[in-house]
Structure 1
């Protein structure tokens, strides 16, 4: 039986429709993904709960891969925040994956990684956590980026749990290409007119950016967006210690 909290989370899934994702843009894919370990990552690989553990559905199509990771886009999933990390999260991930596949017509979960309020990191989109898998998370800017979904809703005045922020930083520090400053900016080129910038527009975005920086949305919520400067510092510290 589902727990009371999971029932609440499932009931609130329609809220996730307020957050707009995008199907993978396939303009810069490569035949084989880049193995992060082969490029000497600037920070160690964090502990990651694999897809098998949360019983993910197999992806409908093989994964697409992009070039080295130059940017991180932070999202919130718009789920209620009061969930049990051990009992509820696997089911919440499966429901979100089902929504992305059946509701949006994609071939898998959009985010590359999902982080819960307890600081657990989950492998999202299939294709290999160690590889530069092209996600479906930020319309116009899926290429050369990683999408990390914070499981919950982080509007103005809501608390962003410290373990969650530290876990996002750990993923960002590991996945970003060596030499990239998490406190700096990355040159990105929009691949979709429906993004915040018309197709072909070159822009300089924060290396660690919020979904709203690339698309017309409130995501990742005011509270999490305001925490991004702290997240950049945490990420930089982890890379310095790497």
Structure 2
């Protein structure tokens, strides 16, 4: 791994100096408008241990073979109970190197009702979305094993069943579950408290929907951590911007040259695709106090790995920021990562979101494809696409995003590149692997991600991305 930790002192200081120009505190803003200061929840995580299930308590109605019996496969779970409101669930365990060989199911009760869902499977992805073994994440926090997260919408009741599988080469090993199993119930909270701009600053941040609300424009309050994150996107956007605007191809090239102080390679300049609109971390309401300070960069961006979040398709586009806040909290609080793992996310309507902090145009080291996070970026389409086809808008957004970001580093979306494995379940550490510049997660790790239906869209995506670059 050839990444380095960037000092956050300079950007944080510069951002702090600019804060008074951009916004006021919620209290001052409210006072100026003659209204009470707004109060919004910050989000939370409930972590509940899973207990052993007995022969009767372990049966799952309607699921053949899913019952616990004395001397049989281990089963753990949580009886139906009331809990604080949450919207996303996942199961974690103590040792990230231990696999969960079994089936995880949950059922939930819609908040404020007596209506329970049917049993839903939670994907056991077993470390495939993770930092490389020797990455910064591995030494900075306690990293846990985890399932994929599942978005269930606002709920206040939960029941959980986890059953080990039998069979295979090592029946005894497969019949046991990892130690320390817990269910994580994540409430995304609302966006950060808002401050009202006075409308006199011509360079004010844009509103979330891209519309102009004049003097009543609302933007999230910016903390010091938020200033650090936002400053990493200057000069592509003003400090505190909720989004980074779309640019045509010519302006994208000029913007890239400006940001690089003219150091952009001559080979890359003709092939930078038009920059898509990108909702910043501030725009989707990231709680910057959750992540670790500072940014970790790799050398370049030679490839893009496409993922699905495996969190389900049961969300509306207006809920995508909440889904993203939940994924972020699950990655950091529940799994122990330094930040959200993906560099970018794309929702079903084709909106592109900034992922891991450090600057959308920079080679930020992610934690998305174990073994191949160096010199690459990860793009996660929010949803599950094993059986369901990805929306056309989302696929088109991946093409636009890769045309721009890969173009900044001179990478041809139709080409192949060579990456060196950092260690994973498919390629031993140190192995040089030739793969497509736009690859699926499964190309670097033995996994179903990004789902068969999305994976099948990658060949035309490469072609479209290259055309957008002008190749």
- The CA distance in 1 between the partners of 2:378 and 2:343, in whole Å, is 5
Shift in Å, 1:10: 2.9
- The CA distance in 2 between the partners of 1:65 and 1:16, in whole Å, is 30
- The CA distance in 2 between the partners of 1:70 and 1:141, in whole Å, is 11
RMSD of Structure 2 on Structure 1 (CA): 2.5
Are residues 126 and 17 of structure 1, via their aligned partners in 2, closer, same or farther at CA, if it must alter by over 3 Å? farther
Task: Return the structure number with greater helix share.
Answer: 1
Shift in Å, 1:60: 1.4
Matched, 1:151 2:258: no
Determine the structure 1 residue equivalent to 2:272: 42
Are residues 100 and 76 of structure 1, via their aligned partners in 2, closer, same or farther at CA, if it must alter by over 3 Å? same
Q: Which deviations, in whole Å up to 9, do the C-alpha atoms of 1:104-160 show, x marking residues without a partner?
A: 11111000000001000000100111211111100011011110000000013x221
- The CA distance in 1 between the partners of 2:410 and 2:323, in whole Å, is 35
Are residues 17 and 128 of structure 1, via their aligned partners in 2, closer, same or farther at CA, if it must alter by over 3 Å? farther
Matched, 1:90 2:321: yes
Which of residues 51, 67, 70 in structure 1 aligns to 2:299?
A: 67
Decide which moves more: 57-66 or 130-139. Answer: 57-66
The normalised TM-score by structure 2 is 0.45
- Moved segments of 4+, more than 4 Å: 11-14, 24-27
- The CA distance in 2 between the partners of 1:53 and 1:153, in whole Å, is 24
Determine the structure 1 residue equivalent to 2:70: none
Q: Does structure 1 conserve the Cα–Cα contact (< 8 Å) formed by 2:345 and 2:352?
A: yes
Determine the structure 1 residue equivalent to 2:130: 22
- The CA distance in 2 between the partners of 1:227 and 1:13, in whole Å, is 28
Task: Return the structure number with greater strand share.
Answer: 2
Other structure's SS at 2:317 match: coil
Matches within 5 A, 1:159-174: 159-174=389-404
Determine the structure 2 residue equivalent to 1:232: 462
Matched, 1:219 2:449: yes
Shift in Å, 1:23: 2.0
Shift in Å, 1:83: 1.4
Are residues 73 and 184 of structure 1, via their aligned partners in 2, closer, same or farther at CA, if it must alter by over 3 Å? same
Determine the structure 1 residue equivalent to 2:341: 110
- The CA distance in 2 between the partners of 1:53 and 1:92, in whole Å, is 13
Q: Does structure 2 conserve the Cα–Cα contact (< 8 Å) formed by 1:16 and 1:77?
A: no
Q: Does structure 2 conserve the Cα–Cα contact (< 8 Å) formed by 1:12 and 1:80?
A: no
Shift in Å, 1:11: 4.3
- The CA distance in 2 between the partners of 1:72 and 1:13, in whole Å, is 26
Determine the structure 2 residue equivalent to 1:5: none
Bigger Rg, which one? 2
Are residues 49 and 68 of structure 1, via their aligned partners in 2, closer, same or farther at CA, if it must alter by over 3 Å? same
Other structure's SS at 1:234 match: helix
Other structure's SS at 2:278 match: coil
Decide which moves more: 40-49 or 113-122. Answer: 40-49
Highest RCO, 1 vs 2 (Cα 8 Å, sep ≥ 6): 1
Runs of 5+ unmatched residues, structure 2: 1-39, 41-85, 92-121, 137-231, 237-254
Determine the structure 2 residue equivalent to 1:136: 367
Count of aligned pairs between the two proteins: 226
Determine the structure 2 residue equivalent to 1:4: none
